[in-house]
């Protein structure tokens, strides 16, 4: 079940909200827990058992780490618990990738197991690891109520594709959280904006991407259209989902941290990764980079630490070489910026540093979205006309004209311009009347697109 579906919007969510607000406070967590398991069961019936096992394992090891916190055994329990979580993630997500690469070097090929990837396993695995590490370090109290721990892991707003919510961020909210009309209305507002980003922008751009991939009439303009479209589609798809998750959380009294902060206005790749998928970046920083020594080591070890983090970042996104190349690509660029590029980026006019970021990011998402290295190479060389690719073609001109307005709207929406404009109008009473009307129109138009259209994927489901 996806948030941008009729089943979720008009059946699941309204029923859960009604029951949630009718029952006494002491039963609200139970309602959310049951609802979350139903939500997950709708898409992955068998893997509900896997998630339940993971939660139970995390609960037991959390208790053991806390019980033996003054002994050497707590480290053993932490290592074993993380090993179990990572082993499950590796088995379900990477086994076939590992086998297929081993087969490249052996005569007698191994059979692929064709295991189905459990939706959201990358996200909830990291959440459980963050909980155990924080309990180990004494930064969070152990949760002795397994139902509350289960709700933290399985909470449906963030279950499928994040953001990666740290336990210490919402530990207190599991026990005590406020429900106000203002918070609920802000949640509805945020959800509708996220839904609109997903349905009205990401899905439309995704149609252009699919048209390009199915075409044989290539040109530099067409490759550029594809690069721009995939760059904007990935942003609006994932940030739209994050907006919906944060909005849903507010409806149920929770406050999640932001996951995107207008990354496409960045003037360096370092800044870009402070603004893009913030929960993932901070996870790797706190649980991998800093434990490895961060930048408080020799230069060679510091470079090693960065490359390890970005290798893992690439692998986390998927079991394919394009993700690994994508991660290492950013790792190398970040090292170069920290060594010498940043001082030049600070001196040049901001328009050029911004252009530098957008070119780098567009190339990265062409790599990210490639099915294989051959396609990646073809798309990258096509961007600059290598291989005799013409500058334009009739098909590329047609689709450029057809999607020009959508792309312009997308570029504007990827900046704070609209937000700043609305904030300036907040002091005027008219905006208080117009905003609900505007949001209502957005919701009606979005749901109309969902009903009428069949193209409604969610890119991060495969991660």
Which residues have a catalytic role annotated?
Answer: 317
Q: Which residue has the tokens 């193209």?
A: 455
Q: Are 204 and 237 in contact (CB under 8 A)?
A: no
Distance separating alpha carbons of residues 140 and 319, to the nearest angstrom: 32
What's the distance, CA 217 to chain centroid? Answer: 33
Distance separating alpha carbons of residues 457 and 117, to the nearest angstrom: 16
DSSP H helices in 337-428 = 342-345, 350-368, 373-383, 394-413, 417-425
Burial bucket for residue 314 (CB in 10 Å: 0-12, 13-18, 19+): buried
Provide the b/e sequence for 112-130 (b: ≥16 CB within 10 Å).
eeeeebbbbbbbbbbbbbb
Distance separating alpha carbons of residues 397 and 383, to the nearest angstrom: 15
Orientation angle between helical segments 146-154 and 167-175, nearest 10 degrees: 120
Would you state the structure tokens that stand for residue 425, as one six-digit string?
């109008």
Q: Which residue has the tokens 């990354």?
A: 263
**103 to 106, 374, 399: CA distances (angstroms):** 5, 19, 41
Q: Residue 111 has what DSSP assignment?
A: P
Q: Are 51 and 38 in contact (CB under 8 A)?
A: no
What's the distance, CA 435 to chain centroid? Answer: 28
């Amino acid at each position: 079940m996806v948030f941008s579906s009729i089943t979720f919007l008009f059946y699941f969510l309204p029923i859960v909200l009604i029951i949630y607000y009718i029952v006494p406070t002491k039963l609200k967590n139970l309602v959310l827990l049951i609802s979350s398991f139903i939500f997950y069961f709708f898409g992955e019936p068998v893997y509900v058992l896997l998630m339940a096992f993971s939660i139970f394992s995390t609960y037991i090891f959390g208790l053991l780490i806390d019980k033996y916190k003054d002994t050497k055994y707590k480290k053993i329990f932490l290592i074993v618990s993380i090993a179990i979580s990572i082993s499950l993630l590796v088995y379900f997500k990477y086994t076939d990738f590992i086998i297929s690469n081993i087969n490249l070097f052996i005569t007698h090929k191994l059979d692929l197991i064709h295991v189905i990837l459990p939706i959201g396993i990358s996200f909830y695995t990291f959440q459980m690891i963050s909980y155990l590490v924080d309990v180990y370090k004494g930064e969070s109290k152990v949760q002795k109520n397994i139902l509350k721990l289960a709700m933290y892991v399985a909470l449906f707003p963030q279950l499928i594709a994040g953001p990666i919510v740290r336990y210490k961020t919402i530990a207190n909210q599991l026990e005590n959280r406020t429900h106000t009309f203002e918070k609920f209305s802000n949640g509805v507002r945020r959800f509708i904006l996220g839904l609109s980003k997903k349905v009205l922008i990401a899905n439309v751009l995704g149609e252009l991407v699919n048209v390009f991939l199915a075409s044989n009439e290539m040109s530099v303009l067409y490759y550029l259209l594809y690069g721009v479209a995939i760059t904007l589609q990935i942003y609006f798809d994932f940030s739209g989902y994050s907006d919906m998750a944060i909005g849903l959380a507010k409806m149920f009294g929770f406050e999640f941290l932001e996951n995107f902060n207008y990354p496409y206005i960045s003037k360096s790749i370092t800044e870009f990764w402070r603004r893009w998928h913030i929960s993932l970046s901070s996870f790797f920083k706190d649980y991998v980079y800093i434990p490895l020594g961060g930048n408080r080591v020799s230069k060679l070890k510091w470079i090693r630490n960065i490359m390890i983090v970005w290798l893992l970042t690439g692998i986390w996104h998927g079991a394919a070489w394009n993700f690994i190349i994508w991660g290492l690509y950013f790792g190398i660029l970040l090292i170069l910026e920290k060594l010498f590029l940043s001082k030049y980026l600070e001196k040049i006019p901001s328009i050029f540093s911004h252009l530098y970021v957008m070119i780098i990011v567009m190339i990265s998402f062409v790599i990210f979205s490639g099915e294989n290295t051959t396609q990646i190479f073809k798309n990258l060389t096509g961007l600059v006309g290598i291989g005799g690719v013409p500058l334009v073609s009739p098909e590329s001109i047609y689709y450029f004209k057809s999607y020009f307005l959508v792309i312009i709207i997308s570029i504007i929406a990827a900046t704070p311009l609209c937000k700043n404009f609305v904030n300036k109008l907040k002091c005027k009473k008219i905006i208080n009347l117009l905003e609900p009307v505007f949001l209502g129109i957005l919701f009606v138009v979005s749901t109309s697109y969902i009903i009428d259209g069949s193209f409604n994927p969610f890119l991060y489901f495969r991660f």
